[in-house]
Structure 1
Amino acid sequence: MALNTGADANFDLRNYHLYNAFSFSNSRLDIDFLPVGIHSYINPLIDLPFYIVYQTYGVFAAHILLIFYFSVFIFITFLFNMRVFDAIKQQYAPYYLFSFNFLPVCATLISISGAAAIGQAITTMNEIQTATLVTSSLLFILPTNDPHRQRLLALMLGGYLLGFAVGLKLTAMIYAIGAVFTLFPWRGTLAGIWRWMAFCLGLGIGAVSSGGYWSWTIYKKFGNPIYPFYDGVFKSPLGDGVNGGDLRFIPTTMLDYLIYPLHWAFQSGTQASELAVRDPRLLLLLISSIVLISVHFFIRPIARTLLFLIVFGIASYVVWLLRFSILRYAVVLEVISGTLIVSSIAIIAFLLGLRRSILYFLSGLLAFVLISFTDRPNWGRVPFPDAYSLSMEPVPDGSIVLLVGRPVAFLAALIPGRDIKYVGIDEWTTQPGPRLKVISEMLSRNDHKLFALFRLGDDQIAAIGSLGLTLESRECSPVHIAIDPGGLVFCPIR
């Protein structure tokens, strides 16, 4: 699919994914200053494989790696659904003794084809990798129908995988909180406490394994291990002292919180995404959960595995809704939605005494309808093989280049030269305060040539003037690159 549609050109790749891996690989932490604004110091570990393969074998090979990521995600999702439906089969045998091979396939098709999952397939947005780790974690922490069979080692390993995902990308914290809540020993039994502690221990070890080194490095430099986020807690000398966050999509009223998935369930909308999407999966996740809980309490108990999954899904959904409400971060919720949707159909079919052929038909039909009905965002692609080939005026060695606005920083990873420093200029880095003071001191030295990279028409160009600098507009030259044909220019400044 990606090989036919072209190379990834999404906004975040051009904003920070490519730059952060380049910076880490070339030890630029103490050379550049806030080149990507608030995203300058996100853990680069998850971006390194793509960057290394791209540098070594080229852009085509790097996208083969992205295809591999998505293939593993599909495989793990299928194993996850097999695990859940095996638990259901044990409870409802012999009625469904031979009927569940088809149902995990339907559930998996629904799980992997959501707007968040398939929209980010074969991209560098990295949610697929973390979703794979989280789903793998669920394979170990899902309870069996026998409550005495859940081993501490499995819980610790599940916690490790989930913690590793959190260390790679903090948005996976949604599911860490959901799992900690779901596994919490609410009955206060000693066995439950030990299981919860084993999981939490694995969670912490996993997070330190993937994010500990980078967080410690950033802490030593800025006094905040996840700078500049949650600075209300860490109080970095170069921070704002507030927690902040991306609040663009957070609901604003109680009614909006209650009906949030309705906004894009049946018509395309941008309430939860930068690009328009149409996808009823999260709505169906909530409806299926209500149906299964009703069956459990009023008709017949359902499998412990399903109960766990419902609580985990709802808890994670609430955290996602309160903290982000961004559909891109809901890949695991889409995975769970496919499982619960088909599970609810299977259990209702059993309770109604429907023939297995009808169950197969309904499950397959729903999978087909959901796949066909979903509108997925196109985050941007350009043709191979010259997608990342750069054509621009050479940058003199020893220069300081201002990266004005976003996304621009990806160019730093592609520009040849020695001893070049990159400084990010945007509405955040140039706010009056300690960050602006550092930038002003860097630019006040007379031993560097100054240049600016920016996009024509960008309102943030005025920030250059606020620094007491003047563009040499007559000497500006265009920057040509396929993944960003949006009028980038390179100008000397004085």
Structure 2
Amino acid sequence: MKFPGKTAKAIPYAVFLIAGPVISVLFGQDRFSDLRNYHLYNAWAFLTHRDGRDIYPADIQTFFNPLGDILLYRAGMGPLADYPRFFAAVQGFSYSLLLLVLFSILRMLRGLPGGTELGNVGVVAALLIGATGTAILSQIGLSSGEMPVAVLVLLGLRVVLATAGLSGDCRGLCNRRFILGGLCVGLAAGIKPTAVVYVPAVLATVAVVAPRGGWRVRPVSACAAGCVAGFLMTYGWWAVHLWRLTGNPVFPMFNGIFHSVWTAPETFTDQRYKPRSVLQWIAYPFFWLSGRERMIAEPGFADARFALTMLACLLLVPRVWWLRRSAAEPGGRACAGVLAFTVTGYVVWLRLYSILRYMIPIEAMSGYLIVAALCDVFRVAGKSRSRLWRDAAVCVAVVFLMVTSRYPGFGHTDFSARTFDVGRERVAADSVVLLMGRNLSYLAPFFEPAATLRFVGMNNLLAASVDFWPGQAVHDLLRSGAPVYMVRSDDPAEDDHMALLKRFLPDFTVSDCREVSSALNGKKRRESAVRSYRLSLCRVIGKPA
């Protein structure tokens, strides 16, 4: 069946728009640990003005920017509260946007003169490889915020790379586009500061894509100004809020620098997934082929994309260097820009986080680099047979990666009757509710009367703050005579910090325990065993220390 030209061109975009919502619904309902730990609570706390009322209910994440969570909270607690599948479809739409932006980047790279001749097969293969990686697919339909942030980063990269196709005398226009590209990345970093990885990555891209002649100070400065402006737009207001509240604009992170009186002078950054040896620092992606757990993610996963991308970068560097020195410059500059973005982003990511889901933009561009390297390996000008071998090799790479990848299960479960299907728990007014460990603060909005309650998180941040103001505040609450309750899970993987509670109530006892109903505490879909852990709410009785 043949379609008219315009209709045929529109088919991929229609597929992309449908793919995200459909895949999200097929994956199931969001029960990601971060949703339970802070995404739901932070939006609720911000909208109900609970500043300083609760004490660390979501551990260090209590103080994360709520901007990226407000819309989903409004939708899930409002018009979509009784439509969990429609809510999942809305969550999946960000994957559709990622597909659209990635496809646009690949089409642009294919069309630049002097670059790698991807062909239609190469574009499709690069899209499939980049868009089906372990980081990307595992985040579809989750409230983590990784996907929308990645869309902004890739959009900024798209704007910057497009300048490679402009004429050499485009400095004014190019600088405006560099500002716009930086703005997109800055907006992403402000919404989710882990995306700060891509600020130096996009600056490195500008440094190699900018028109030739002289130092790259002006274009890089223009892009940096855009990054700063975007960051201030989405995070500046929250930094001011945290500064006024705690004395640290990124509290509790880097408190060794800002010395807030709320907690110990520590960095509070996650160091669990960093490389552990010199060999891992050099060739970490090759260690991800084994499928081991707690490598750069808690669940086990295996993905050869990153190892192949590292090899592809080594193959492409000499050719890109030659292209940049030749007359056929636009394609070479653009390819060099992708290389600079990927390598710089990876190095910064490795140094700061080494956490799988923070590298979605890098993973998205892995397909282009792998396919470009294969095209160069089989490159023989004007030979149809070489193009056939090239396309065959590209198709084999796609099949190989899809067959060998082992995807981590971050948090989908079977659909329940409601989007946030959590039972309403009534306790005495003005009570203190102790949340024993992480991933429990999402219950707070469902307590009655929540507005009068004080929620206290027994977690690592409170343990580090016992000798500071929050520790004293907990002592004062427990001495006030207000009724005290605790919520805990019988999940053995959750540290409920009962020993920490004994520092405040040495001889406490519990009574009147009852089960808390929560579909969000159900088993993950990828778990073979039925594992739905019980939540309990108990009255706490004891004399404060």
Q: Name the TM-score, length of structure 2 as normaliser.
A: 0.84
1:134-176 per-position Cα deviation (integer Å, ceiling 9, x unaligned): 0000011124155444611111110100000000001101111
Partner of 2:202: 179
1:242 aligned onto 2:266: yes
Partner of 1:477: 514
Task: Give the distance between the partners of 1:323 and 1:313, measured in 2 at CA.
Answer: 15
1:103 aligned onto 2:122: yes
Task: Give the distance between the partners of 1:296 and 1:141, measured in 2 at CA.
Answer: 18
1:340 aligned onto 2:363: no
Moved more, 203-212 or 386-395: 386-395
Aligned residue identity for 2:245:
K
Task: Give the distance between the partners of 1:403 and 1:346, measured in 2 at CA.
Answer: 55
1:325 aligned onto 2:354: yes
Contact 2:40 2:69 in 1 (8 A): yes
Partner of 1:452: 486
Of 494, 498, 503, the match for 1:466: 503
1:296 Cα deviation after fit? 3.7
1:414 aligned onto 2:436: no
Task: Give the distance between the partners of 2:271 and 2:230, measured in 1 at CA.
Answer: 28
1:423-479 per-position Cα deviation (integer Å, ceiling 9, x unaligned): 111133033321312221232212x22111112364512222221265543311111
Matched position secondary structure for 1:106: helix
1:276 aligned onto 2:300: yes
1:6 aligned onto 2:32: no
Of 439, 453, 456, the match for 2:474: 439
1:356 aligned onto 2:387: yes
Aligned residue identity for 1:493:
V
Partner of 2:164: 144
Matched position secondary structure for 2:539: strand
Task: Give the distance between the partners of 1:180 and 1:46, measured in 2 at CA.
Answer: 24
Matched position secondary structure for 2:500: helix
Partner of 2:538: 491
Task: Give the distance between the partners of 2:289 and 2:318, measured in 1 at CA.
Answer: 23
Of 264, 268, 273, the match for 2:288: 264
Task: Give the distance between the partners of 2:486 and 2:212, measured in 1 at CA.
Answer: 61
Aligned residue identity for 1:445:
S
1:182 Cα deviation after fit? 4.2
Moved more, 337-346 or 427-436: 427-436
Moved more, 212-221 or 407-416: 407-416
Q: Name the TM-score, length of structure 1 as normaliser.
A: 0.92
1:218 Cα deviation after fit? 0.9
Matched position secondary structure for 2:511: helix
Task: Give the distance between the partners of 1:378 and 1:92, measured in 2 at CA.
Answer: 38
Unmatched 5+ stretches in structure 1: none
Partner of 1:316: 345
> Does the C-alpha gap of structure 1 residues 304 and 297 become closer, same or farther in structure 2, counting only changes over 3 Å?
closer
Task: Give the distance between the partners of 2:27 and 2:220, measured in 1 at CA.
Answer: 45
Contact 2:160 2:177 in 1 (8 A): yes
Contact 2:458 2:500 in 1 (8 A): yes
1:180 Cα deviation after fit? 2.6
Partner of 2:102: 77
1:206-262 per-position Cα deviation (integer Å, ceiling 9, x unaligned): 001111111111111011111000112211111322224100011122112112111
Partner of 1:287: 311
Contact 2:95 2:140 in 1 (8 A): yes
Matched position secondary structure for 1:46: coil
> Does the C-alpha gap of structure 1 residues 398 and 49 become closer, same or farther in structure 2, counting only changes over 3 Å?
same
> Does the C-alpha gap of structure 1 residues 287 and 187 become closer, same or farther in structure 2, counting only changes over 3 Å?
same
Matched position secondary structure for 1:101: helix
Contact 1:167 1:210 in 2 (8 A): yes
Aligned residue identity for 1:17:
H
Aligned length: 487
Task: Give the distance between the partners of 1:356 and 1:196, measured in 2 at CA.
Answer: 38
1:426 aligned onto 2:459: yes
Q: Percentage identity across aligned positions?
A: 24
Task: Give the distance between the partners of 1:77 and 1:477, measured in 2 at CA.
Answer: 50
Task: Give the distance between the partners of 1:433 and 1:189, measured in 2 at CA.
Answer: 58
Alignment of 1:20-419 (within 5 A): 20-56=42-78, 57-58=80-81, 59-87=84-112, 90-91=113-114, 96=117, 100-142=119-161, 143-145=163-165, 146-149=167-170, 151-184=174-207, 192-265=216-289, 267-297=291-321, 303-351=332-380, 353=383, 354-386=385-417, 388-391=420-423, 393-417=425-449, 418-419=451-452
Task: Give the distance between the partners of 1:224 and 1:374, measured in 2 at CA.
Answer: 41
Matched position secondary structure for 1:272: coil
Task: Give the distance between the partners of 1:271 and 1:92, measured in 2 at CA.
Answer: 36
Moved more, 335-344 or 294-303: 294-303
Task: Give the distance between the partners of 1:471 and 1:452, measured in 2 at CA.
Answer: 11
> Does the C-alpha gap of structure 1 residues 474 and 198 become closer, same or farther in structure 2, counting only changes over 3 Å?
same
Matched position secondary structure for 1:144: helix
Moved more, 479-488 or 225-234: 479-488
> Does the C-alpha gap of structure 1 residues 91 and 155 become closer, same or farther in structure 2, counting only changes over 3 Å?
same
1:411 Cα deviation after fit? 0.7
Matched position secondary structure for 1:391: coil
1:272 Cα deviation after fit? 1.1
> Does the C-alpha gap of structure 1 residues 402 and 288 become closer, same or farther in structure 2, counting only changes over 3 Å?
same
Aligned residue identity for 2:38:
Y
Aligned residue identity for 2:233:
S
Contact 1:401 1:422 in 2 (8 A): yes
Task: Give the distance between the partners of 2:376 and 2:293, measured in 1 at CA.
Answer: 33
Task: Give the distance between the partners of 1:36 and 1:395, measured in 2 at CA.
Answer: 20
Task: Give the distance between the partners of 2:409 and 2:415, measured in 1 at CA.
Answer: 17
Task: Give the distance between the partners of 1:154 and 1:415, measured in 2 at CA.
Answer: 49
Unmatched 5+ stretches in structure 2: 1-22, 522-531
Task: Give the distance between the partners of 1:402 and 1:372, measured in 2 at CA.
Answer: 46
Task: Give the distance between the partners of 2:51 and 2:213, measured in 1 at CA.
Answer: 48
1:249-304 per-position Cα deviation (integer Å, ceiling 9, x unaligned): 11122112112111112545431110001001111111111000133457996611
Contact 1:386 1:482 in 2 (8 A): no
Task: Give the distance between the partners of 2:288 and 2:368, measured in 1 at CA.
Answer: 21
Task: Give the distance between the partners of 1:175 and 1:92, measured in 2 at CA.
Answer: 24
> Does the C-alpha gap of structure 1 residues 205 and 333 become closer, same or farther in structure 2, counting only changes over 3 Å?
same
Matched position secondary structure for 2:457: strand
How large is the Cα RMSD of the aligned pairs?
Answer: 2.4
> Does the C-alpha gap of structure 1 residues 410 and 470 become closer, same or farther in structure 2, counting only changes over 3 Å?
farther
Aligned residue identity for 1:341:
I
